């Protein structure tokens, strides 16, 4: 598939997806939702990709749903169907992708753009970035996974505050609240994100993926269930080439050469 609304590049084990409608602050139309979902699926299928970097072109990460598109549809349009066929598939694809996703948040992440930023596993924010649940400004509830992802990161009170005020949470506050892992000067964002992605792309991809799977599932489990699930996934990790290589490398006092398998 050739892309028109995003850029997609694979190098050194890292797939970089760049949201690319800068004149509209990377607002999502249907084509961009479709292409971004396709790119994440492609990154999942390609064994050469072991880490994904998601960022935005221009001064925003994403301003969320393209509101001009919404206006054009009034009358003949079901939001629930739009979510089911669009954002829900994108978020589920990101969450289900068993490779680390780094969000390099270059500017405002609003509405669905905020949900998509939150669906990354790690977030590095430029000091110009901000997070905004713009939904209530247009009379909507949060969607795109926000109601599942955000309270888990910041707790109910802060998540609800963000939803009802629609205030922009600047990068330093987002760091303090646990929304982002790092804040860096704007001009160092991509360089820092790539410096983080490099070692992840050379890491034990299978173990990283299983870790992502279990850390999402244990929210709904009791401790005994979680312990049992750990044991079953560790059985898989423990049979991997990377487990063997990691142990041998340790004993030989050298850096491991992980294959991701």
Q: From the list 20, 36, 37, 63, which residue makes contact with ligand T3D (rule: CB under 6 A)?
A: 63
Q: Which candidate, 171, 163, 137, places its Cα nearest to that of 65?
A: 137
Judged by CB under 6 A, the chain residues 90 through 129 that form the site for ligand T3D are: 108, 110-112
Q: What is the nearest approach in angstroms of ligand T3D to the Cβ of residue 105?
A: 13
Residue number with CB closer to ligand T3D (107 or 209): 107
Q: What is the nearest approach in angstroms of ligand T3D to the Cβ of residue 156?
A: 21
Q: What is the H or E stretch that residue 53 is in?
A: strand 51-56
What are the tokens at 135? Answer: 């939904």
Q: Does residue 174 bind ligand T3D (CB under 6 A)?
A: no
Site string for ligand T3D, 67-86 (x = CB under 6 A): xx-x--------x--xx---
Query: Would you tell me how many other CB atoms lie within 10 Å of the CB of residue 105?
Result: 32
Backbone angles phi, psi at 104, to 5 degrees: -100, 100
Q: Are 180 and 171 in contact (CB under 8 A)?
A: yes
- Residues contacting ligand T3D: total by CB under 6 A: 24
Strand pairing of 130-132 and 168-170?
antiparallel
Q: Are 41 and 101 in contact (CB under 8 A)?
A: no
Q: Does residue 137 bind ligand T3D (CB under 6 A)?
A: yes
Q: Which residues are at the interface with ligand T3D (CB under 6 A)?
A: 24-25, 27, 63-68, 70, 79, 82-83, 108, 110-112, 132, 134-135, 137-138, 140, 143
């Amino acid at each position: 598939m050739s892309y028109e609304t995003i850029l997609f590049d694979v190098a050194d084990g890292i797939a970089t997806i760049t949201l690319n409608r800068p004149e509209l602050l990377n607002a999502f139309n249907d084509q961009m939702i479709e292409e971004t979902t396709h790119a994440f699926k492609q990154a999942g299928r390609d064994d050469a990709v072991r880490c994904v970097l998601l960022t935005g072109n221009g001064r925003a990460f994403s301003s969320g749903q393209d509101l001009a598109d919404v206006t054009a549809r009034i009358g003949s349009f079901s939001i629930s169907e739009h979510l089911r066929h669009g954002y829900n598939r994108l978020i589920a694809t990101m969450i289900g992708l068993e490779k680390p996703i780094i969000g390099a948040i270059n500017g405002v992440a609003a509405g669905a753009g905020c949900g998509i930023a939150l669906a990354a596993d790690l977030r590095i924010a430029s000091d110009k970035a901000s997070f905004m649940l713009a939904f209530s400004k247009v009379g909507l509830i949060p969607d795109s996974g926000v109601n599942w992802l955000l309270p888990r990161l910041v707790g109910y009170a802060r998540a609800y505050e963000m939803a009802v005020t629609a205030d922009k949470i600047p990068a330093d506050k987002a760091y303090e609240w646990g929304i982002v892992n790092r804040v860096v000067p704007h001009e160092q964002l991509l360089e820092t994100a790539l410096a983080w992605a490099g070692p992840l792309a050379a890491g034990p991809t299978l173990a990283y993926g299983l870790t992502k799977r279990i850390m999402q599932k244990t929210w709904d489990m009791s401790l005994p269930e979680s312990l049992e699930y750990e044991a079953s996934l560790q059985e898989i990790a423990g049979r991997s080439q990377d487990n063997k290589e990691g142990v041998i490398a340790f004993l030989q006092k050298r850096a491991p050469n992980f294959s991701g398998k």
